[in-house]
Amino acid sequence: MKIRSLGVAAALLAALVAPAAAQHVFKIGTGLNEEHPQAKALKFFADQLAAKSGGKLTARVYTSGSLGNDISMTSALRGGTLEMTIPDSSTLVSLVKPFGVLNLPMTFNNEKEADAVLDGPFGQKLLATLPDKGLIGLAFWENGFRHVTNSRRPVQKADDLSGLKLRVIQSPLFLDTFNALGANATPMPFTELYTAMEQAAVDGQENPAATILASKFYEVQKHMVLSRHMYSAWVLLLAKKTWDGLSADERKIVQEAAREATAYERKTIRAFSETALADLKKAGMQITELPAAEHAKMRSKLQPVLAKFSKEFGEDSTAEMNAELAKVRGGTTAAK
């Protein structure tokens, strides 16, 4: 009996000290707050990851820039000190120039066109360039069409943008776009924006309606114009160092979770955006829409910018994207 008891005790001890099944915990950083559809979609991704892997793959979402801004978090992924983040596609231009063509002003007419290009051969070709930069691009998520807000005056025509000090993404394209429209473009991390507007360090900014609402910019901004000057996409990124440490089955789970979360994110942000304008009006914002003639004037002012950055990002890439747009539209792309 004593020998048997010793055997049972040894078995229990061995079970206690045996290595647990390998587990990967991904930290995901975002600059947006937890109420934004993007953050909710990241949590959906985390739930899918855990469910599909039986808890072997888990993720924790860090919101409101607690892990840094888009640039610093993307750098952390490349260095292997952070697992995931989801920057604006423009953040990746310094690594892969053709990513910039996605932000060329007045390119996409609607979300359907954007989905077709991003999910099609052109978008997937862009993602395939990232492993050489220490990144894995899992999917494109929608940020949306960008609009201008400010605290000084309503914008009812293209010339009304002249003289406004507007915060923009830290990108030469964004700087040149708004300088060409007569504004004083000021690059600044998103995490600093609310305070800058509150203290009148800048007059305004440009972002999709969902971000304007979720970030409560209506508290420090009075006017909004539906300028639709640019479509903006996020890129769901995983550190290549993390990817390389996953098994083939684990990689498949990550890809499946990303695919399902992409569909969820687009559906969620579009539903949120549909009600955002009404909510912003209720919150006191005055919203104007540019007449077609003023929109055309804006497009005319931006022609030099389009020419410059089509060349900067790669004329072949610009032509390739426009060719895909032509297929989606069933003919030739509209003049740019």
Q: What CATH number is given for 22-329 in this structure?
A: 3.40.190.170
Closest CA to 156 of 312, 302, 297, 22: 297
Closest CA to 224 of 151, 117, 143: 151
229: left (phi over 0), alpha (psi -120 to 50) or beta: alpha
- Give the tens place of pLDDT for each residue, 236-266: 999 999 999 999 999 999 999 999 999 999 9
- Answer for the pair 167, 204: CB distance below 8 angstroms, yes or no: yes
Amino acid at 324: E
Q: What is the pTM of this model?
A: 0.85
- Give the tens place of pLDDT for each residue, 272-329: 988 999 999 999 999 999 999 999 999 999 999 999 999 999 999 999 999 999 999 9
The proportion of the chain whose per-residue pLDDT surpasses 90, expressed as a percent, equals: 88
Residue spans per domain, the chain: 22-329
Q: Round to whole Å and give the CA distance between 313 and 133.
A: 17
Torsion angles phi and psi, residue 81, rounded to 5? -100, -5
